[in-house]
Structure 1
Amino acid sequence: MSRAVVSALRLPHGEGLPVPAPQSSDAAGSDLAAAVPAETPLTIPPGSHALVPTGFAFAIPGGHEGQVRPRSGLAAKHGVTVLNAPGTIDADYRGEVKVILINHGSDPFVVERGMRIAQLVIAPVTPVDFREVEDLSSTDRGAGGFGSTGVTG
């Protein structure tokens, strides 16, 4: 399988941080690190959220998107996750990637410089055109909403 090439622009406050890269040959995501100042870590109180800089901007190839996803270790150990998971980075965006972290845990969470805070997955996007119609084809489910296909109990 061919590999997509994503150009990574290191911003001044990203100096010294690792360029995102898969950590194993079959890893789906690449870790994003926090580009907060070393002398002033960011504390996220329980129930609060914060925008965390990564120190990088990317050029994602056309026909793809970047998905910012939580790290399972932060979620399991601290109750910290990505608020808008998955966050979408469009192929035409060239600004710094920032991660919205939320602390669902019971203790304040300290984000330190270089801490791995999220993972970035590059995925293909199917282009679509929406067409307004007078009615839709029928299905067994029809307009059944939340929980309509599962067993209730």
Structure 2
Amino acid sequence: MTDRRAWAAIASFPPHPKNVRHARRITRTALAAWGAPELIDSAEMVVSELVTNALRYGSGPVDLTLALTDRTLRIAVADEGTSLPAPRDAASDAQGGRGLQIVELLADSWEVVVRLTGKTVTCLLTAPEMQAPEIPAANPVHLQGRPGSPRRSQGELRE
């Protein structure tokens, strides 16, 4: 993801539950077209949670903005509701209540901006490094997964 120009996508849709799926599809399609596949899974999950919250607790149309520059993706979801998002402690058997916890886990940062006609929840995601992290020569480990992923295999050692 080097030498990239800035990219942006903006969508606005009525407050209907099926539009969560459309927002995920917009996110996946845009990031694939922009050459940022390493951001797709996290961005799609964050968009899903933010749009779901806008539909559940907000009002009016939902606006989604995706803006990618270099290695940073800015996701903004706006609605006309007045209730502000707040992380909750969901019971272990609860079917909901973890949306903002997921956003906090996946995003580098997030914030809420109150506007005259509602609010905008914005978060930033940073793409992992394109190169695998350096591994000390004494303990080389084979990395699996997408480039820059912190997940390691169960210890396939190389001599």
Q: TM-score, normalised by structure 1?
A: 0.28
Greater relative contact order: 1 or 2 (C-alpha under 8 angstroms, separation 6 or more)?
Answer: 1
Larger Rg: 1
Higher strand share: 1
Q: TM-score, normalised by structure 2?
A: 0.28
